[in-house]
Chain A
Amino acid sequence: METILSISSALCLLIGSFLCLSGGVGILRFPDFYTRMHAVGVTDTLAAAMILIGLMLQGPEWIAILKLIMILLMTLFISPTASHALAQAAIRNSLWPLIDTQQETAEEKSHRTPS
């Protein structure tokens, strides 16, 4: 039991770290502000969740586990609000996103907002 727990905990932590790293690479690699925000989304959601779950599996006592669950819930509630505030600040200051126009059809164009 002990071994299974520590192995699965290590696995979760490893996946979480890989996702954090990917998020970081995405921030450096992606072309503009909005696409970079999508990369941050990875670090915000699944990476944080995996690391917290990994820590929960190592949990020495129930109160630590409950606190970790609380941190996870808080992160999941706060991060969309923060991202939305950031994105809206950018759009209000008329920073227009890069749009992929290559394969865009006429039908999709009509869906787009007038910018």
Chain B
Amino acid sequence: MRHTISLSIGLLLFWLLNSGHYTLMILSLCVVSIVIVLTIVHKMDVVDHEAQPVHLSRKFPAYSLWLSKEIVLSNVTVVKHIWLGNESLSPTLTTLKASQITDMGKVIYASSITLTPGTIALDLVGDRIMVHSLLRDNITALESGEMDRRVSRLEAQC
């Protein structure tokens, strides 16, 4: 039920933001289409904690702020190495351990790795993430496990 409500609110906001016309006709079309989408989604049985991770919403803002900071810092590093040339690169391939319990947590961790430039999650099997990085320093930073810990803390809300 909680997930259905959050999905309807999300769809409603999405429609209102995209339309910008607030006449009765358009708004009733909005309600009708939301109801249709909810019916289809229920028949597909995909409304659950994975599609609507409402349990994360309380801690997510703090995590995304930290992640934005990381993204800016790693962007600066990658741009620096683009202009420094190929000699300054040290591409590395490593396998890291993800300490998250749920699939959701692992996916957030892998996505965060990919989102920060300089590191890409290539494969995720069990609790092992294969990571390719542009520089050896990136791997050292990931191995220190700060991102891993933060994602685990985020996930602990479940």
Contacts and interface: CB of A to CB of B under 8 A. Distances in A.
Contacts of B79: 19, 22, 26, 42
B93 A112 contact: yes
A99 B132 CA distance: 9
Nearest to B80: A22
Contacts of A42: 75, 78-79, 82, 117
A30 B114 contact: no
B83 A22 contact: yes
Given A35-B91, A38-B120, A70 B82 contact: no
Secondary structure of the B side of the interface?
Answer: mixed
Size band of the interface chain A makes with B = 35 or more
A66 B123 CA distance: 35
B69 to A, nearest CB: 11
B92 interface: yes
B120 A37 contact: yes
B72 A113 contact: no
A91 B122 contact: yes
A39 B92 CA distance: 15
B18 interface: yes
B142 to A, nearest CB: 11
B110 to A, nearest CB: 7
Contact of B71 (A29, A46, A97, A115): A46
A21 to B, nearest CB: 10
Given A79-B115, A87-B122, A103-B136, A97 B90 contact: no
B111 interface: yes
B17 A38 contact: no
A100 B92 contact: yes
A26 B75 CA distance: 12
For the complex of A and B, the 7 pairs showing the least CB-CB separation, nearest first, are A41-B117, A80-B114, A100-B90, A46-B75, A26-B82, A80-B111, A38-B134
19 contacts: A22-B83, A30-B82, A34-B91, A38-B120, A41-B116, A42-B75, A42-B117, A63-B20, A80-B112, A81-B111, A84-B120, A84-B122, A88-B123, A98-B91, A99-B93, A103-B136, A111-B95, A112-B94, A115-B93
